[in-house]
């Protein structure tokens, strides 16, 4: 009878060892998944900041053309204008600039001055066409708008 008790007790340690291995494996899988998610989130945050800077570059492009046009004359303001991909850390982005303009005359000024008002928006995204109709899982887009006058 003493030999039968030993055989029953020997199998119990194997069950608890397998249980501990399964629990440790699940904890390891959870830790790896959590770490991967945090890294992807941080990478998308950086891409969002870069997309904002790319959209700002589109606004700066339009501001340069408005500022360099002769006083009292309009800049043709082609809309939409695809600036294509940028260089450096902004290379994954495509920038599209949309603008509209209108002439405003100053009332009571002698002589009457014409001021051109430009409404500019720049869209930066990770696809070749901004904005995208079918964005993927890593799609990033930022829009910056500005009003300018000269």
Q: Which domain holds residue 119?
A: 2-149
d(CA 90, CA 60): 15
What gap in Å lies between CA 54 and CA 128, rounded to an integer? 14
- 3-state DSSP of the chain: CHHHHHHHHHHHHHHHHHHHHHHHHHHHHHHHHHHHHHHHHHHHHHHHHHHHHHHHHHHHHHHHHHHHCCCCCCCCCCCCEEEEECCHHHCCCEEEEEEEEEEEECCCCCCCCEEEEEEEEEEEECCCCCCCCCCCCCCCEEEEEEEEEC
Q: Given this model, what pLDDT does residue 1 score?
A: 52
User: CA-to-CA distance for 103 and 115, rounded, in angstroms?
Assistant: 6
Neighbours of 53 (CB within 10 A): 16
Question: How many structural domains are present in the chain?
Answer: 1
Residue 6 reports pLDDT greater than 60: no
Q: 68 vs 112, which has greater pLDDT?
A: 68
Reply yes or no on whether the pLDDT at 120 is more than 80.
yes
Mean pLDDT, residues 119-137: 82
Tell me the per-residue pLDDT of 24-33, one tens digit each, with 9 for 90 and over.
999 999 999 9
pLDDT digits over 49-60, tens only?
A: 999 999 999 999
């Amino acid at each position: 009878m003493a030999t039968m008790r030993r055989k029953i007790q020997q199998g119990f340690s194997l069950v608890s060892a397998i249980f501990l291995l399964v629990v440790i494996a699940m904890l390891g899988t959870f830790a790896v998944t959590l770490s991967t998610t945090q890294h992807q989130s941080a990478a998308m945050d950086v891409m969002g900041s870069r997309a904002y800077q790319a959209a700002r570059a589109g606004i700066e492009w339009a501001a340069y053309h408005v500022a360099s046009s002769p006083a009292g004359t309009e800049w043709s303001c082609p809309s939409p204008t695809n600036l294509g991909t940028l260089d450096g850390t902004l290379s994954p982005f495509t920038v599209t600039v949309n603008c509209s303009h209108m002439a405003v005359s100053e009332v009571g000024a002698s002589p009457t001055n014409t001021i051109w008002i430009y409404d500019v928006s720049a869209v930066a995204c990770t696809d070749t066409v901004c904005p995208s109709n079918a964005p993927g899982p890593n799609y990033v887009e930022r829009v910056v708008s500005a009003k300018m006058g000269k």
